[in-house]
A and B are shown apart, each in its own frame.
Chain A
Amino acid sequence: MTSDQEAKLPRLTKFAVYAALIMLSIPAILPLLWMVSTSLKTNAQIFGNGDLNLKALIPSPLETSNYPAALQNMPFLVYLRNTLLLCIFGVVGAVTSSAVVAYGFAKIEFPGRNTLFGLMIATMALPGQVTMIPIFSLFRSLGWYGSYLPLIVPAFTASAYYVFLLTQFFKTIPTEMSEAARVDGATEWRIFLQLIIPLSRPALATCALFQFIGTWNDFLGPLLYLNDPAKYTLAYGLQQFVSHYGGFFAQLMAAATIFTLPIIILFFFAQRTFIQGISTTGGK
């Protein structure tokens, strides 16, 4: 199956493909459609015992008041600014540091490499609950409590997840290429920057996307380390809608939709970057 040009498939296959896609996407998208449609209803409409038909999915009349209400219920722009700040730092930090570390593990032979790699993977195996207190105490004794530092600095020290992922990708790049470059006298750093990186754009973009989404959605970090409402993030604001003492369902759905929309748009347009075909097959 070629992936670069549009597939020239026989009609029947194309039909089958579309049929499969549509059928499978229904369960994927239905809950989300429900979320959006709920956000456009009043509470009475949501909990009335109406029949299930298309009408239930498309509310009429459209109640758009939930959106301004949701926006009013939290300092949206402030949260947005804070969230973007954390996301940008997170992405830059995570991608650069993880790529560098992954190159070390994947392409350089040095004693202790496998042990350290194993150690790194092992760090993912311990549930975070029990290290929460020691980590918290650590940050507190560093004086970082109440600031963004606990949320930003660790991103620059490479995450095991991304390193593991990138290692897998880097390993698929033939060693002959880097060997040839080494013979030419290039330093590892140069090989890394000029050879490996350009060939790994899909993987790097995937990491960037995941990190962005992860930071965007992270609410526990801000909850634990921040005390000033002026520093809070969108994820935190969303969580405030969900609680025993007064969550409002329609507004929650509106808030969740607002919260998710930027990511959807980001993903849709960024697709090309990491699903871009590697046309320079000769270079491989």
Chain B
Amino acid sequence: MAVNDSTTRSRIKGYALLALAIIVTAVVLATGNETPRKYPHRKIVRFWHRWQGDWEKQVQKIVDAFNQSQTEYEVVAVSVPSGGSDAKFILGVIGGDPPDLMSMFSGAVPNLAANGFLAPLDSLMTPDEKARFFKDSYPSIRDIGTYKGKCYGVTIGADLMALYVNVKQLRDAGLDPDKFPKTLEELEDWGLKLNQYDKKGNLTRLGFLLNDIGYVSHYFGGGFDVKDDGRLLLNTPQNQRALETIVNYRKKLGFENVLRFQAGLNDIEGAASWAFMHGDLSITYDGQWRVEELRKFKPDLEYRVYPIPAPKEGGTPLGGLVGGNYMIVPVSAKQKKGAWEFLKFWTGLDNPDRAATFYNMGGWLPYSPAVANSPTFQKWLKKDHQFQAFLDILASPNCKAPPPIANLQFLNDLITRAEDEATRGDVTPKEALQELEDKFKEERNKRRELGYDE
């Protein structure tokens, strides 16, 4: 084999030059890789959130409005895509270089709070602000951010559910949408009347679907709760009744049929695949963000929004469970004061009318009646009067926040699983709830054994 030294040497030289070129290019490219600050002389407040697409644009407008309204701080917002955001947010906090304000979804917040990772927001408020905030806000919104008596999060963009009713389909079936059922039983009857089948007996249109036991239980005076003293309110008679109602109604429709429609309720495709929107569901219940989506994607659909009616006996009307984005401030944030100023601006503690614009942009629920009653909000409400139903629920004493426990996510998954098994007919409602409670107790014991506080 002939070995050619000079060729090798020149080849090596060639590679070295190439490497040098790459390095130089890289260095050149790598600079200029920074987003320029709009107000570089101001104190920076870094804000991470999870809103995407159009929603992100709304959030950016709010950020811009805040930046223009004062001269001390500049909020820089970064939108984090949902897949992997859990990891990113948590790593951000424990990594020691967190943003100043983050929007997190329920589950992890009690855990973070319990371990001293969040700054209690009430320590950032002036006494006057504190008094006003706790007096003004809707009870469930205030509760949702509270852990062991301190406020760790403010919810902007809280979520609530109510019924969406397809007016045309009701009228076609001879039902009057203005005389909406006052009891759950009546509603179920209506649902059955609205069902449509094809020649083979398959369901082609579903009149009404009742699901999500975590939510529905609040209409039966129930709910899944873990008290501070450790009492478990999981397998309660009220919850059992609620689950039985769900399961029985499902039986009347046929489990299989409902499954097929539930596939369409899957949200991953985004708004436009919603079964209600293309007429496959006459009455359904969903979140308040759908109001905006309906306006965007199907403005010609005539619909009403009603709170879910309570059952005839033992029902608690206008019940609900609030969920949503918590705005939290990590304890190691560098600009906590700025974060609170921005939060204050956004929620509308000082200026409810101005904040009303922000809430309306995203179709979000206001944090207090003061905002809801402000002129700007009322004006918007006249256009989108369907939203009123949500406000009614929000103001009701039966609207609750989920229990602030460290393994809330685990509990939620157990609830989902229980409902799934019961509605498929694998177990009876009673067994499902018993299993839920057993599994939760088991997990709690495991945690105690490992040395967790709860």
Whether A associates with B in a native complex is yes
Give bound CA distance, A136 to B85, whole Å.
Answer: 15
**Set B1, B53, B91, B289: member contacting A240, Cβ < 8 A:** B53
A-B contact pairs, 10 of them (CB 8 A): A186-B1, A220-B84, A223-B85, A240-B53, A240-B56, A241-B53, A243-B50, A245-B52, A249-B269, A249-B270
Interface assignment of A246: CB less than 8 Å from any CB of chain B: yes
Chain A 178-198 interface 0/1 with B at a Cβ cutoff of 8 Å (1 = within): 001100101000100111000
A168 at the interface (CB under 8 A from B): no
Inter-subunit contact A89/B83 (CB<8 Å):
no
A85 within 8 A of B: yes
B 1-19 binary contact with A (CB < 8 Å = 1; else 0)? 1010000100100000000
Say whether A229 contacts B78, CB under 8 Å: yes
Of B195-203, B271-279, B446-454, the one with at least 4 CB within 8 A of chain A: B271-279
A145 in the interface (beta carbon within 8 A) = yes
Which chain B residue lies CB-closest to A85? B29
Residue of B nearest to A246 (CB): B53
Most buried by B among A48, A148, A180, A223: A223
Q: Which residues does chain B contribute within 8 Å of A82, judged by CB atoms?
A: 33
Give the chain B neighbours of A252 by CB distance below 8 A.
270
Query: Number of A residues contacting the other chain (C-beta, 8 Å)?
Result: 50
B242-278 at interface with A (beta carbon < 8 Å): 267-273, 277-278
Report the separation of the CA atoms of residues A82 and B33 in the bound assembly, to the nearest whole angstrom: 9
Q: In the complex the two chains form, what is the Cα distance from A46 to B273 in whole Å?
A: 9
A223 x B30 contact (CB < 8 A): no
User: Which A residues, 125 to 146, have Cβ-Cβ distances below 8 Å to chain B?
Assistant: 132-133, 136-137, 140, 145-146
Q: CB-CB < 8 A to A194: which residues of B?
A: 3, 8
Is residue B128 contacting chain A, with contact meaning CB distance below 8 A? no
B229 close to A (CB within 8 Å)? no
Q: How far is the CA of A136 from the CA of B84 in the complex (A)?
A: 14
> Within 8 Å CB of B272, what residues of A?
43, 46-47, 248-249
Query: In the complex, which of the residues A92, A133, A247 contacts B53, with contact meaning CB atoms closer than 8 Å?
Result: A247
Asked whether A49 and B278 contact (CB < 8 A) given A193-B8, A243-B53, the answer is yes
A140 near B50 (CB under 8 angstroms)? no
Q: Which residues of B contact A181 (CB under 8 A)?
A: 1
Check if B97 is an interface residue, CB within 8 A of chain A: yes
Binary flags per residue of B71-102, CB closer than 8 Å to A gives 1, else 0 = 00000001111111101100100111100000
A69-83 Cβ-contact flags toward B at 8 Å (1 or 0): 000010000000110
- Establish whether residues A133 and B91, one from each chain, have CB atoms under 8 Å apart when the complex forms: yes
A175 at the interface (CB under 8 A from B): no
A231 within 8 A of B: yes
Q: Mark B46-71, 1 if CB is under 8 A from A, else 0.
A: 00001111111000000000000000
Minimal beta-carbon separation of B91 from chain A (angstroms): 5
| Residues of chain A lying within 8 A (CB to CB) of residue B79 | 240
Pairwise interchain contact A246-B51, C-beta atoms closer than 8 A: yes
Neighbouring A residues of B29 by C-beta, 8 Å: 81, 85
As a 0/1 sequence over residues 26 to 56 of chain B, the CB contacts with chain A under 8 angstroms (1 = contact) are: 1001100111000000000000001111111
B297 within 8 Å of A (CB atoms): yes
A158 at the interface (CB under 8 A from B): no
Complex alpha-carbon distance, A231 and B79, angstroms: 13
Give Cα A192–Cα B29 distance, bound, in whole angstroms. 33
Q: Chain B contacts of A244 at CB under 8 A?
A: 82, 267
Residues in chain A within 8 A of chain B (CB atoms): 43, 46-49, 73, 81-82, 85, 88-89, 92, 132-133, 136-137, 140, 145-146, 148, 180-181, 184, 186, 190, 193-195, 219-220, 223-224, 227-231, 236, 239-249, 252
Given contacts A47-B273, A249-B270, contact A241 B52 (CB under 8 A): yes
Distance in Å from the Cβ of A35 to the closest Cβ of chain B?
13
Q: With A181-B1, A239-B81 known to touch, is A43 a contact of B297 (CB < 8 Å)?
A: yes
State in angstroms the CA–CA spacing of A17 and B284 once bound together.
52
Residues on A with beta carbons closer than 8 Å to the beta carbon of B53: 73, 240-241, 243, 245-248
Distance to closest chain A CB from B99 (angstroms): 8
Q: Is B22 an interface residue (CB 8 A)?
A: yes
From B34, B35, B51, residue with most partner A Cβ within 10 Å: B35
Query: A210 vs B306: C-alpha distance in the bound complex, in angstroms?
Result: 54
**Would A230 and B81 count as touching, CB distance under 8 A?**
no
Given contacts A47-B277, A223-B80, contact A228 B270 (CB under 8 A): no
B34 touching A230, Cβ below 8 Å? yes
In the bound assembly, the distance between CA atoms of A146 and B267 in angstroms comes to: 32
A252 to B30, CA, bound (A): 28
Residue pair A85, B26 in contact (C-beta under 8 Å): yes
Least CB distance from B267 to A in Å reads 6
Interface on B for A, CB 8 Å cutoff? 1, 3, 8, 11, 22, 26, 29-30, 33-35, 50-56, 78-85, 87-88, 91, 94-97, 267-273, 277-278, 289, 297
Q: How far, in whole Å, are A240 and B80 apart by their CA atoms in the complex?
A: 8
- Specify the chain A residue showing the minimal Cβ separation from B85: A223
Q: Which residues of chain B are within 8 angstroms of A133 by Cβ–Cβ distance?
A: 91, 94
Q: Whole-angstrom distance from the CB of B301 to the nearest CB of chain A?
A: 12
Cα separation A248 to B30 with both chains bound (whole Å): 32
* B95–A137 CB distance below 8 A: yes
User: How far does the Cβ of B204 sit from chain A's closest Cβ, in whole Å?
Assistant: 10
Which has the most chain A C-beta neighbours within 10 Å: B8, B11, B52, B267? B52
Q: Given that A85-B29, A193-B8 are known contacts, is A223 also in contact with B81, CB under 8 Å in the complex? A: yes
Point out the residues of chain B lying under 8 angstroms from A242, CB to CB. Answer: 81-83, 268
CA distance A136 to B420 in the complex (A): 37
Query: How far apart sit A30 and B50, CA to CA, in the bound complex (Å)?
Result: 33
Residues of B within 8 A of A184 (CB): 1, 3
Q: Which residues of A contact B78 (CB under 8 A)?
A: 227, 229
Cβ contact within 8 Å between B22 and A224: no
- Say whether, besides A47-B272, A48-B278, A88-B22, A190 and B3 are in contact (CB < 8 Å): yes
In the complex, how many angstroms separate the beta carbon of A253 from the nearest chain B beta carbon?
11
Known contacts A81-B29, A246-B51, A252-B270; 13 additional CB pairs below 8 A are A133-B91, A219-B81, A223-B84, A223-B88, A224-B87, A224-B88, A242-B268, A243-B52, A245-B51, A245-B55, A246-B52, A246-B54, A248-B53
- 8 tightest A-B CB contacts, nearest first: A247-B270, A246-B53, A239-B81, A243-B52, A230-B35, A43-B272, A243-B82, A246-B55
Q: Which residues of A contact B30 (CB under 8 A)?
A: 85, 148
Residues of B close to A228: CB separation below 8 A: 33-35
Write the nearest CB–CB distance from A117 to chain B, whole angstroms: 27
Complex-state Cα separation, A218 to B81, whole angstroms: 14
- Chain A residues within 8 Å of B83, by CB: 219, 239, 242-243
What is the CA–CA distance of A92 and B273 in the complex, to the nearest angstrom?
A: 43
Q: Which residues on the A side are within 8 Å of B52 (C-beta)?
A: 240-241, 243, 245-247
Within 8 Å CB of B84, what residues of A? Answer: 219-220, 223-224
